[in-house]
Amino acid sequence: MRIVIIGSGFGGLNAAVEIRKKLKHSQLVITVISDREEFIFRPSLIWIPFHKHSIKKFTFPLRPTFEKIGVNFIEKSVKSLMPKQNYVICFDNEIIEYDYLILASGASPDWARIKGIEGKSASIYDISSALKTRKRLEQINEGEPIVIGVAQENPNQGIAYEFLFELDTYLNERCIKCPMTFFTYEKELFDGNGKESTEKLEVLMAEKQIPYYCNVSIEQVDDEKVYLNNGEQLPYSFLLVLPPYKGKECIRSSKDFEHENGILPVHETLQSVQWENIYVVGDANNIKGRKTGRAAELQGILAAENIVKQIHHEPLQSFQHDTLYLMELGKEGGMFIKQGTLKWTTSGMIPHMMKRAFEKYYLLKFS
């Protein structure tokens, strides 16, 4: 039996570990294919621009981890998916066959969907872009207009709010005053996470004199302004927008998958709606809800469990949405949200310490 996992983030890593745990005495061959050799604890990327973290503290090499549990690791990019023939093709034309496939390939920022934005917006989606954002922030001068926003169709809006308040703290510590504006396609601030969460953010925006626009989309961006569909033109010197997502090229280029910009439709079991031996987890699927590392982790575990059940001809389980989110608010503390409801707020460093503790636990657990 051959199980292939494409991707080594939260979804792929947990899927591989869970399958091996449940079938450790079998002749099962598990292969993980990834275009990078290290695991990145992605929630920590937001701290890089503000000099709060060392990259070495939230990354670790994957090969030793997989070798320890008897999982093959191939550091290559996947060129094509061939679901009719049950194999994948790497860019060096190596063919890897499978009986079951887990697509944990993630998604990428789709800058091309917004006219003029590519190259103008800062980003924290990977280490390289986060380091470039750090360099740009070091150059901010008094009075430069700043715009932070969430573009239409972005599934993880919380990053923008965290960046906004981290940036506010960063500037205050340096005694730099800059006008900041926030916008989002959501109908209200942090929509879908309860009235109390929205009201907390509204109060903070008022206290910090940050004007904001909800229920708007971007029409285009030029070198000086962001143009919203409500007629507003927001001047900027520093811009960070969370863009729409797109699936990986190996999905978008496949003639055998129905998809929306590379994002695959799945059943509640996480199976592809077209191929029952293919599971899709994390950002690569179209399951509604916040796209976080926590969601990808849970989906990776469920995909592994369902493959084991499928092998044993047992009923499959459906994915249960477990919304758990700790949002940092700079020096204002943070909010803990579960199942779309604000459970508590706190001030000071407690939320940051909690996130750092979880990061440390995660790396110790797998590295």
Buried b (16+ CB within 10 A) or exposed e, 83-102: beebbbbbeeeeebebebbb
Distance CA 238, CA 138 (A): 11
Which CATH homologous superfamily contains domain 2-108+245-311?
FAD/NAD(P)-binding domain (3.50.50.60)
- Binned at pLDDT 50, 70 and 90, residue 331 comes out as confident
- Do the domains at 2-108+245-311 and 111-243 have one common CATH topology? yes
pLDDT in tens, 114-147: 999 999 999 999 999 999 999 999 999 999 999 9
What is the reported pLDDT for 190?
A: 92
Domain at 111-243, CATH from 1.10.540.10, 3.90.1010.10, 3.10.20.30, 3.50.50.60: 3.50.50.60
Q: Tens digits of per-residue pLDDT, 17-33?
A: 999 999 977 789 999 99
Helix (H) or strand (E) holding 238: strand 238-242
Q: How many other C-beta atoms lie within 10 A of the C-beta of residue 343?
A: 14
pLDDT band, residue 323 (cuts 50/70/90): low
Tens-digit pLDDT profile for residues 2-20: 999 999 999 999 999 999 9
- So where are the chain's domains? 2-108+245-311, 111-243
Residue 281 DSSP class: -
Q: How many helices (H) and strands (E) does the chain have?
A: 8, 22
In contact, 122 and 133? CB cutoff 8 Å = yes
Q: DSSP assignment of 324-339, as one string?
A: EEEEE-GGG-EEEEET
Q: How many residues does the chain have?
A: 367
pLDDT at 324 over 90: no
Q: Return the pLDDT at 339.
A: 67
* Contacts with 328 (C-beta within 8 Å, 6 or more apart), sequence order: 162, 165, 166, 334, 351, 352, 355
Residues 55-79 pLDDT 10s = 988 999 999 999 999 999 999 999 9
Gap between the terminal Cα atoms of the chain: 27
pTM confidence score: 0.93
Mean of pLDDT over the chain: 93
SS3 at position 253: coil
Taking Cα atoms as reference points, which of 94, 106, 82, 105 lies closest to residue 277?
A: 82
pLDDT at 332: 84
Residue 336 CA to residue 347 CA, distance in Å, equals 12
The answer on pLDDT for 196 being more than 90 is no
Tally the C-alpha atoms within 13 A of residue 14's C-alpha that lie toward its C-beta: 21
DSSP string, 125-136: SSHHHHHHHHHH
Backbone dihedral region of 321: left (phi > 0), alpha (psi from -120 to 50 degrees) or beta? beta
